[in-house]
């Protein structure tokens, strides 16, 4: 399935290059695709709530009778013509300093050249204003030859963790964040980090 919107006057040439293999496929969805209209509104950075509960939890669970709760395609989703592998991200910066540096590797372990976009998502666990369940905080695009590995690197500043408070001014609050890096917004949390006004306080892994 290849999606092509209004891509400008060169869209025909771009489509041709992709179809004949002169350019790698590597587009990512800028929205969430629902399975049916009954799921709308559906977006990756919705507010946190008790619904739906975690997968595998059946007690008090409410589902659609004719559809899974998950979207058809999540935000940031997009396939390539090869097989891509991510290593678990790690924090390489020191405690008590900004920015917080998150690094890892992405590899093409297939036989075709491919584009991939590592995406960094953060989830603020508790704050004075209800946070989104996760937020995209960074992304990088790589063109990978077969058996090629590239290092991705994200820097998180204090401003990246600020939000509009109840007084309608941007503010920062210390606390815990869940960090996830992957190919789309379905990326699961890799680890938790605690921050305060001075920077990184600590890291907790599952």
Quote the pLDDT of residue 70. Answer: 86
Rg (CA), the chain: 19
Asked whether the bond before 130 is cis by omega within 30 degrees of 0, the reply is: no
**Rounded-to-integer distance, Cα 7 and Cα 14, Å:** 9
Check if the beta carbon of residue 80 is closer than 8 Å to that of residue 137.
no
pLDDT > 70 fraction of the chain, expressed in percent and rounded: 93
Residues in contact with 10: Cβ distance below 8 Å, sequence separation at least 6, in sequence order? none
Q: What residue segments make up the domains of the chain, in order of their start?
A: 11-204
DSSP letter for each residue of 50-64: S-S--TT--TT----
User: Residue 90: beta bridge partners?
Assistant: 103
How far apart are alpha carbons 97 and 189 in whole angstroms? 23
Its pTM surpasses 0.75: yes
CATH domain 11-204 topology: Immunoglobulin-like (2.60.40)
pLDDT in tens, 6-52: 888 999 998 999 889 898 888 999 999 999 998 888 999 998 766 65
Residue in 150, 152, 154, 153 with CA at minimum distance from that of residue 137: 154
Identify the pLDDT of residue 26: 86
Q: Which of 33-42, 57-66, 79-88 has the lowest mean pLDDT?
A: 57-66
- Which residues neighbour 58 within 8 Å (Cβ) at sequence distance 6 or greater? none
Between CA 206 and CA 64 the distance in angstroms is 31
């Amino acid at each position: 399935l290849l999606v092509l919107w209004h891509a400008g006057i060169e869209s025909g040439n771009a489509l041709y290059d992709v179809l004949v293999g002169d350019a790698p496929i590597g587009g990512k969805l800028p929205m969430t695709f629902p399975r049916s209209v009954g799921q709308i509104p559906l977006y990756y950075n919705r507010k946190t709530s008790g619904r739906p509960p975690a997968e595998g939890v059946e007690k008090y669970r409410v589902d659609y009778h004719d559809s899974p709760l998950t979207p058809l395609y999540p935000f940031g989703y997009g396939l390539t013509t090869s097989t891509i592998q991510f290593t678990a991200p790690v924090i390489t910066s020191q405690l008590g300093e900004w920015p917080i540096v998150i690094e890892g590797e992405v590899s093409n372990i297939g036989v075709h050249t491919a584009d991939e976009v590592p995406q960094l998502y953060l989830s603020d666990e508790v704050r004075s204003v209800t946070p989104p369940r996760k937020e995209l905080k960074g992304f990088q695009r790589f063109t990978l030859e077969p058996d090629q590995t590239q290092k991705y690197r994200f820097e998180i500043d204090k401003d990246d963790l600020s939000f509009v408070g109840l007084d309608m001014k941007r503010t920062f609050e210390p606390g815990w964040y869940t960090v996830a890096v992957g190919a789309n917004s379905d990326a699961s949390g890799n680890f938790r980090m605690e921050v305060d006004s001075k920077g990184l306080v600590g890291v907790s892994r599952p």
